[in-house]
A and B are shown apart, each in its own frame.
Chain A
Amino acid sequence: MMGAKRRRLIGNILAYAAMFLIVALSVLPVVWTFLISIKPDEEVITATLTYLPKRPVWDNYVSIWTRSGFPQLILNSAVTTAVTVAICTTTGTLAAYAVARTRFAGRQKVLLLYLAVRMFPAVMIVIPLFIVLRNVGLLDSRLGLALAYTSFLLPVFIWMMKGFFDAIPPELEEAARIDGASRLTAMLRVILPLVLGGLVATSVFVAIGAWNEYLFALMLTSSSGSRTWPVGLQLMVGEFQLPWGALAAGGMISIAPVVILFAIVQRALVRGLTAGAVKG
């Protein structure tokens, strides 16, 4: 019979081996793409595959950046993302504060609405949204696309922020009110500073969602003045037979902000994403 200590040791070794495999599976495809992005063309298209680049170069990054309006695509995505985040943080923070920290008739119904809206199918919304945006003249505009993004990002924002507001002790507003602060002051000066970390993390989550989005952008934008990078990059692949190295470099440039932002706020972000789930 094996001792408990020995069994635990073997269990831990197996756990490390399995974890290593899963981490490799998650990370290696991205590493591989990075390697392709720093290989010169003749090392990508070869008879026998070379794994590590013999002569790393940044040519692909220069080539994609100077090609047919890639900076414009990035700019459009940045503007659309910024507008989406601005809309969500203003309207969403107010709504999350209301449902988390006040009790009013109809609260359950409002909560249910925010939850139900999360379950609406994207395809169901994007088709009529095309017509609606066209009718109000916002089709093929960055503002119109940002408004479309709030359809699925605002409900998520409200639910995550509600979790952060819920975590603050309920007596704080009362204490501020006894000191003579108005409800507005209590909200802005007392509570809001306490959820600032959560607000930043939630905003980053919404920003990543808007930055990455493909289907709505494909449907709702068509000109170079509003087209975002996922649509533009996909177009380059389809229409101009973008070389591999340049495609990989374009992908690396586009995910850089996502990876950096995520790395900065990951602790609070993971807390926000899972808080709602655990409570059910």
Chain B
Amino acid sequence: MGLGTLSERRGWVWFLLVPSLLLIAAVVLYPTLWGMSLSFREMRLNRPDLGTGFVGLKHYMALWNDPVFWLSLRNTLVWVVGATIGEFLLGLATALLLNRGLPGFRAASVLILLPWFLPNVVAGHIWALMLDPRLGVINDILVRIGVLDSYFAWFADPDTALGAAMVVEIWHGFPFFALLLLAGLKAVPNELYESAEIDGAGPFARFRHVILPQLQMIIVASVVLRVISLVNAPDIILILTGGGPGRASQVLSLYAFLKVSKEFNFGYGSALAMVLFVGLMGFSYLYVRLSNVLRQ
């Protein structure tokens, strides 16, 4: 029987779906279940003598009493809120500008995507070079225009390390918002702008009452997606500061990752990841609910 004949049978659509479903089951669902179970078990690859038995809530109790956990949680909140707001505002400003559609802006809309497509490792090092305490060009410019007296070690000072990493992340992530918000703006019918203008609405009133309501769905969706990836991806911080100096820029995802990759403590690392997972699910649910309520 040929494949063509096979495609005439009922349920052939499942032949199309099964490969991807199997793959997702194998690389997403099965590992996630494993991770959940690991968080209730002892598993240290460097301590096989401890076995891999169930230990109940041991890791979660330890986590509750772990000051590093609370510090990382606080840093995660600062990191995610700061970076999301920064990326959103810069992205929105970019999208509103691009939406004016002046000559040359199409090329600009392609150029601004460059940071987003750069690998984390390269984005991180570009900024590490520019902010270097001995030879960084940004330090040089800041000294020349009189903002700084001397070159500053942005990533080595506990007060500025997380903030400096946030600047890099905002640079890296703002095109995501610009791209999606621009698409949303283009979908706003022109008559809406025109009728608002005829009604005598100024630019701010137009933005508040015409544009913002139209963008709401996209804003909700893009913020959820961005928060999820910011909570989850410690790449930029790992590359720039490694969570330091001390633990000044340690975030939860990095803490979980280091617990596993440096200390081989899979049980504890999984418990940390579970907290992230449950927290994100709760956030996404509340955020979507809340924005639905506000809309009505």
Given A183-B7, A258-B118, A124 and B35 contact (CB-CB distance below 8 Å): yes
Residue of A nearest to B110 (CB): A266
Q: In the docked arrangement, what's the CA distance between A117 and B32, Å? A: 11
Most buried by B among A110, A123, A214, A258: A123
Fill in one digit per residue for A164-203: 1 if any B CB lies within 8 Å of its CB, else 0: 0000000000000000001111010000000000000000
B34 at the interface (CB under 8 A from A): yes
Q: Are A121 and B30 in contact (CB under 8 A)?
A: no
- B12 interface residue per 8 A CB criterion: yes
A208 is an interface residue with CB less than 8 A from chain B: yes
Count contacts on B: residues with CB < 8 A to the other chain: 94
CB closest residue in chain A, given B187: A278
Contact flags A266-280 to B (C-beta < 8 A → 1, else 0)? 100010011001101
Query: Given the complex of chains A and B, what is the CA–CA distance between A116 and B227 in angstroms?
Result: 15
A97: interface (CB < 8 Å): yes
A259 neighbours in B (Cβ, 8 Å): 114, 117
Task: Using known A-B contacts A125-B28, A277-B180, determine if residue A95 contacts B7 with beta carbons closer than 8 Å.
Answer: no
Given A23-B111, A29-B171, A230-B120: A119 and B228 interface contact (C-beta under 8 Å): yes
Question: Does B233 touch A at the CB level, under 8 Å?
Answer: yes
0/1 string, A221-262, CB within 8 A of B gives 1: 000000000100110010000001001100100110011001
Among A46, A102, A182, A277, which residue has the most Cβ atoms of chain B within 10 A?
Answer: A277
Closest chain-A Cβ to B20's Cβ sits at a distance in Å of 4
- Report yes or no: A127 in contact with B266, Cβ–Cβ below 8 A: yes
| Contact call B19/A132, Cβ cutoff below 8 A | no
Contact of B105 among A19, A95, A154, A274 (CB under 8 A): A19
A-B CB pair tally, cutoff 8 Å: 261
B8 within 8 A of A: yes
Q: A230 with B20: in contact, given A277-B184, A278-B218 (CB under 8 Å)? A: no
Tell me the smallest distance from the CB of B96 to a CB of chain A, in Å: 9
Q: Determine the chain A residues whose CB is within 8 A of the CB of B94 once the complex forms.
A: 22
Q: Does the CB pair B183–A121 fall under 8 Å?
A: no
> Taking the complex as formed, is B277 at the interface, i.e. its CB lies under 8 A from any CB of chain A?
yes
Give the chain B neighbours of A36 by CB distance below 8 A: 129
* A-facing residues in B148-206 (Cβ within 8 Å): 171, 175, 179-180, 182-184, 187
Structural contact, A123 and B221, CB atoms closer than 8 A: no
The listed residue (A118, A258, A273) touching B179 by CB distance below 8 A is A273
Known contacts A15-B97, A215-B257; A274/B183 CB under 8 A: yes
The reply to whether the CB of A10 lies closer than 8 angstroms to some CB of chain B is no
A128 CB contacts on chain B under 8 angstroms = 31-32, 34-35, 38, 270
| Contact yes or no, A95 B19, CB < 8 A | yes
Assess whether B276 is in contact with A251, with CB atoms less than 8 Å apart.
no
Query: In A122-180, which residues have CB < 8 Å from any B CB?
Result: 122-132, 147-148, 150-151, 154-155, 158
Query: Does residue A98 face the partner (Cβ distance < 8 Å to B)?
Result: yes
CB distance from B194 to the nearest CB of A (A): 14
Q: B179 near A274 (CB under 8 angstroms)? A: yes
* Among A97, A131, A208, A230, contact of B266 (Cβ-Cβ < 8 Å): A131
List 9 other contacts, CB 8 Å, given A29-B171, A36-B129.
A90-B19, A92-B20, A95-B20, A97-B16, A110-B21, A182-B8, A219-B261, A234-B239, A244-B135
Residues on B lying within 8 angstroms of A by beta carbon are 3-8, 11-13, 15-17, 19-21, 23-24, 26-32, 34-35, 38, 43, 90, 93-94, 97-98, 100, 102, 105, 108-115, 117-122, 125-127, 129-130, 135, 137, 140, 171, 175, 179-180, 182-184, 187, 217-218, 221-222, 224-225, 228, 231-235, 238-239, 253, 256-257, 260-261, 266, 269-270, 273-274, 276-277, 280, 284
> What 8 A-B pairs are tightest by C-beta distance, nearest first?
A274-B183, A212-B119, A182-B4, A128-B34, A95-B20, A184-B7, A128-B35, A98-B16
